[in-house]
Amino acid sequence: MFKSRIEAGNLLAEKIAKDLGQLTSKAVILGIPRGGVIVAKQIADSLACFLDVIVVKKIGAPNQPELAIGAVGETNGSKYIDQRLVDDVKASKDYLNSEIIKMRQEIKRREQLYRQNKPPLDLKNKIVIVTDDGAATGATVIAAVREVWNNQPKKVVIALPVLSKDILAKLEKEADEVLYLDTPWPFFAVGQFYQQFPQITDEEVIGALL
């Protein structure tokens, strides 16, 4: 149990420093909004790394928007679809295509808002650490990592305070390395592992990135 995203970020920074050593001095930390940016801010400050945001959006199931049946970033290569869940909820191809279009429009809007017209960091040949405040299904993390790979990094690391045991093997296939602090069971939602888990505002994200 973490007190807050700030504590989780600081503890995760210690884990990253221990496992990656001197590589951290050349790393770029990418936070998935909104809560992941707060975690990423603590890591970047602690390790003196560059900080940026990577915007991805989950694709919710029909009539169950909180159930992620996939996720997408800005480019086609980022798309992740959990076909088993898609089949279970009977999401049609037209539904998926429509949701992806809507999500990508929202991604562009949020990127402009969060970056305040600043260009994204160049990730080519960089060590990139993708983080969030936790992962239940892993959908948004996978989409974010795939988006990063489109930018030709040298190495991609996923770093999370907490994640479901069920998705660890899946995440390990997407990145060079997965670093985490805990894989508790049972796992229902990320917020259950934080004493304080308030909704993060767009203004807080912008402030963390300044």
- Does the structure show a pLDDT above 90 at 23? no
What pLDDT was estimated at residue 25?
81
- Does the structure show a pLDDT above 90 at 110? yes
DSSP assignment of 142-207, as one string? HHHHHHHHTT--SEEEEEEEEB-HHHHHHHHTTSSEEEEEE--SS-S-GGGGBS--PPPPHHHHHH
Cα–Cα dist 121/129, whole Å: 13
What pLDDT was estimated at residue 117?
85
What pLDDT was estimated at residue 24?
83
Strands 127-131 and 27-31: parallel
26-72 per-position pLDDT tens digit: 899 999 999 999 999 999 999 999 999 999 999 999 999 888 999 99
Kindly tell me the sign of the dihedral angle through the C-alpha atoms of 18, 15, 152, 174.
Answer: positive
Let me know: does 75 contact 54? Beta carbons within 8 Å: no
- Does the structure show a pLDDT above 90 at 127? yes
What pLDDT was estimated at residue 85?
94
Which residue in 142, 4, 169, 164 sits closest to 73, CA to CA? 142
134-162 per-position pLDDT tens digit: 999 999 999 999 999 999 999 999 999 99
Which domains can be identified in the chain, with CATH numbers?
5-56+119-209 (3.40.50.2020), 57-113 (3.30.1310)
What pLDDT was estimated at residue 135?
97
Residue 193 CB-half CA count within 13 A = 22
171-207 per-position pLDDT tens digit: 999 999 999 999 999 999 999 999 999 999 999 999 9
| Host H or E run for residue 53 | strand 50-53
3-state secondary structure of 137: coil
Residue with the bigger pLDDT between 117 and 108: it is 108
